[in-house]
Structure 1
């Protein structure tokens, strides 16, 4: 099975399909990352909050795949809302991962206390220092994303948000595309719900693939979009990787576009106003 095609923007080159690792931990988490790398995944997503950076780093070292061939993302939690605390946390991430750099460093969530210019300055310093090859944000609503871009403090390479066939993110895509950013879709299978329903089943049957592969292929057909489905088992990892070989027709995409798009599954108490 081949490796994922790469999205190249002015800011970075990122494999289109990656492995999400929340909430994989311990021996299971390390085994899952090693398995994925063995199957050809070259994009691994983790975060400070996941509590698995040590295992992810160990898996990368045990895999036999050169560090330079792996695109590694981590994220700093929202309780570091200013530059100094953000920088210290990011360096601690590198220590746990046992790597001198990550390929992408993200602000995990916007804090109500977020000092946006200060955090963006920390991101830029880490980028300039080589500790992060590229930087970006996660879970920013449209208004805050525009604000961050308009400050022009650091080149934002990526926005990571919940995105699947049941949740429209066209407002964000209308910002990320012109800005040369990748939109990375987390929970791209909607916790299994995005692969349910007669429309997806019918399309999957016509193509001889699984509903999950259709749900992923739908996202990957939307320009500079990457997806990071979590999968612990090699069987599911192979299935997700197979979505790269699925080419949906215009009619397929139109049918999936027509599905209801208001199903948000990740909406914690500290989430921002998504419409802001």
Structure 2
């Protein structure tokens, strides 16, 4: 399996085809090598257009997508994964996630579909998203290939300590979506103060904090060239132990993505 680049481009709600394709092209030409999408975003074809337009070899780019919650029965998962690859314009999807373990999720049929898609070369690696630890353990036991990634909301107000520890223990990546909490990190005094000291944005600080953690990958959404470049610059922001401890010590807790049927509410 190709190593997952630690900073990627998220494309949630980037649903204008021309804008999405341009964002992907801009990100790749800026230096990003990881693009994340999903069947439910409705933009896989636009992401594929951006991949094709960029002056970057396809082999250098890590492309991830996710099965929609209505496509998790065995036959639907197998069929729609192949359709996703076609829309993305790729022979093999580098990483295919189960987006949510809800609706049509079947711990047997869905995982067996991932196993067969991997065996058939449709996907190079398999991932899960928004799972509880008990659901992760059950899926890992049934998976033939090793779990490559678990994607969850993660940022300084939702540090996901238990899930990050589970990722380290089982040697997979925890992929952080909403890594700047839709810029609500800018409302936290400690983050603002440390960011000011580095002449950085709160968003950059949140990303740098995530990238300091073992096994963590961040996929901030960005559409404009300025935002794409601002996020990319977070890779160069070095935080000392005291600053990292101050961010670790933030006691505010806030979840951006939440609804009654979410696994953690069951």
**TM-score where L is the length of structure 1:** 0.92
Aligned to 1:39: 30
Give the conservation status (yes or no) of the 8 Å contact 1:82–1:116. no
Could you tell me which of 10, 15, 29 is aligned with 1:20?
Answer: 10
Q: Could you report, residue by residue, the CA deviation over 1:205-229 in whole angstroms, capped at 9, with x for unpaired residues?
A: 2222222111111111111100000
Larger mean Cα displacement after TM superposition, 184-193 or 144-153: 144-153
Give the conservation status (yes or no) of the 8 Å contact 1:195–1:215. no
Give the alignment of 1:194-209 within 5 angstroms. Answer: 194-209=185-200
Aligned to 1:236: 227
Q: Aligned partners of 1:51 and 1:67: how far apart in 2? A: 21
Give the conservation status (yes or no) of the 8 Å contact 1:201–1:211. yes
Give the alignment of 1:32-181 within 5 angstroms. Answer: 32-181=23-172
Structure 1 unaligned blocks of 5 or more = 1-10
Q: CA deviation at 1:261?
A: 4.7
4+ aligned runs moved over 6 Å, structure 1: none
**TM-score where L is the length of structure 2:** 0.95
Q: CA deviation at 1:151?
A: 2.8
Q: Aligned partners of 2:222 and 2:93: how far apart in 1? A: 22
Q: CA deviation at 1:12?
A: 4.1
Q: CA RMSD in A?
A: 1.4
Q: CA deviation at 1:258?
A: 1.3
Could you tell me which of 21, 27, 33 is aligned with 1:30?
Answer: 21
Q: Could you report, residue by residue, the CA deviation over 1:93-116 in whole angstroms, capped at 9, with x for unpaired residues?
A: 111112111110000111254211
Larger mean Cα displacement after TM superposition, 81-90 or 213-222: 81-90
Aligned to 2:211: 220
Give the conservation status (yes or no) of the 8 Å contact 1:218–1:248. yes
Q: Could you report, residue by residue, the CA deviation over 1:178-224 in whole angstroms, capped at 9, with x for unpaired residues?
A: 11110000000001102332211211122222221111111111111
Residue 137 of structure 1: SS of its match in structure 2?
strand
Structure 1 residues 261 and 219: CA distance shift in structure 2, 3 A:
farther
Residue 14 of structure 1: SS of its match in structure 2?
coil
Structure 2 unaligned blocks of 5 or more = none
Q: Aligned partners of 2:219 and 2:189: how far apart in 1? A: 24
Q: Could you report, residue by residue, the CA deviation over 1:106-130 in whole angstroms, capped at 9, with x for unpaired residues?
A: 0011125421122111111111221
